[in-house]
Structure 1
């Protein structure tokens, strides 16, 4: 997939379209309810700071936690929102976040913050800015996983750090575009040599032994990889690589 194909796929993906439409609606409402410019600006500023911290916390302690797969009620969600992505980091079908999980999470984090600072105009401004930030995060995330060499140093750096998270050691580099909180909490590693190769980088600790005790994800996935290599879902589905690429883009 070329960068041009990525841009087209990105802006036609249903979740991204939803983020854009919600963002526009929030901007319209924040202007309609506009009362205190300083408070609304403060709400956006706090949302800008809260977003990367919220992502870091959720990514590290929830998505990489080992409690969601231990319940039949949450195993399906965990499989979709993170396990599949680590099992096959290049599978574009699970690259984007699931709208039914990302949107409520963003709204629950940013809307109350914005409301406390600037009332309803602050709430809509914070949520609208959250939609803009989400689109930026998702686009950079696509570049990180696409077989594409970015030209800008910023994109090169975040791609290197994120690929280390996926292919070397998943216990660090939890950011997507912002690694400030990784620095604060000591989970940033600049080079692969700074951390040992993780045996669970592709299964997030959901090993064959864990699958025997908590079988729900295993039954849905057709097994897990425990040999230090990513699981290619197109191989499990009996497709060739070109066929898989075609199906992923359709």
Structure 2
């Protein structure tokens, strides 16, 4: 079976216990990252094989990179932080995997990475139409490749933001500070990962925690004891008694 035996087989990685070197290895060997990289290379190869116009290919790649932050912002704010998916047994496990678990333990690398069954359809649904409209099949392939490789970049930056490591570059230190505030001060703002333009535009950006109200639901995303009593599926999957307080998940040292 593909990826049946990898450095991830049967083990967990926690960013607060890792060095930058260890993170680089775990990142490079994670199956989803390898899939994105392979599909990115395949998209570039297809674009070259189909021989699209260079200007159209460049425009498709640039458009994808520009649209990506907006797509991430909308998904992160209204889907991942939305309070709809956990209310139905059919989608409770999906919401648990794609975001609840990450806020429960922000250092668990296994749930920091997006799930392929959600990320791949999203990337393709966004990028293929952009590329096709700009320059046909070759540009569509290039746009998809740009989406895959941009996802690799976003995922690595996201890892760095949770690693006990001080980046040398000021912009990386800055976005790390904003993202950690999203996890440990208030989840109601700073939805970007590498780009906070849309947060600024829509009024959800805060540079300093003291300027933004602290949230009591930063670790449970609003899935409180009362909500878990009404909608028990995520609680049951998480080993939490429905109706009890939903706090930050602990783990053995």
TM-score by shorter chain over 0.5? yes
Match of 1:36 among 49, 53, 65: 53
Match of 1:56 among 69, 73, 82: 73
SS at match of 2:103: helix
Residue equivalent to 2:175: 158
Correspondence list, 1:214-225, <5 A: 214-223=231-240
Unaligned runs of 5+ residues in structure 2 are 1-17
Residue equivalent to 1:237: none
Contact 1:200 1:226 in 2 (8 A): no
Contact 1:203 1:226 in 2 (8 A): no
**1:186 and 2:203 correspond:** yes
Q: CA deviation at 1:93?
A: 2.0
Residue equivalent to 1:114: 131
Match of 2:155 among 114, 138, 145: 138
Contact 2:52 2:139 in 1 (8 A): no
Residue equivalent to 2:249: 231
Q: CA deviation at 1:226?
A: 4.5
Residue equivalent to 1:248: none
**1:96 and 2:132 correspond:** no
Match of 1:3 among 20, 24, 30: 20
SS at match of 2:60: helix
Contact 1:86 1:201 in 2 (8 A): yes
Residue equivalent to 1:244: none
Q: CA deviation at 1:42?
A: 1.2
| TM-score, L = length of structure 2 | 0.90
TM-align CA RMSD: 1.3
Residue equivalent to 2:185: 168
Choose 28-37 or 184-193, whichever is displaced more. Answer: 28-37
After superposition, what is the alpha-carbon deviation per residue over 1:195-224, rounded to whole angstroms, capped at 9, x for unaligned? 111011110000010011111000011228
Contact 1:89 1:230 in 2 (8 A): no
Residue equivalent to 1:14: 31
After superposition, what is the alpha-carbon deviation per residue over 1:86-142, rounded to whole angstroms, capped at 9, x for unaligned? 011111221111111111111111111111111001101001011110010000000
Residue equivalent to 1:213: 230
After superposition, what is the alpha-carbon deviation per residue over 1:13-68, rounded to whole angstroms, capped at 9, x for unaligned? 00000011000100000011123222111111111111110000000000000000
| TM-score, L = length of structure 1 | 0.91
Alignment partners' CA distance in 1, 2:62 and 2:106:
32
- 4+ runs of 1 displaced by more than 4 Å? 224-227
Match of 1:203 among 220, 223, 233: 220
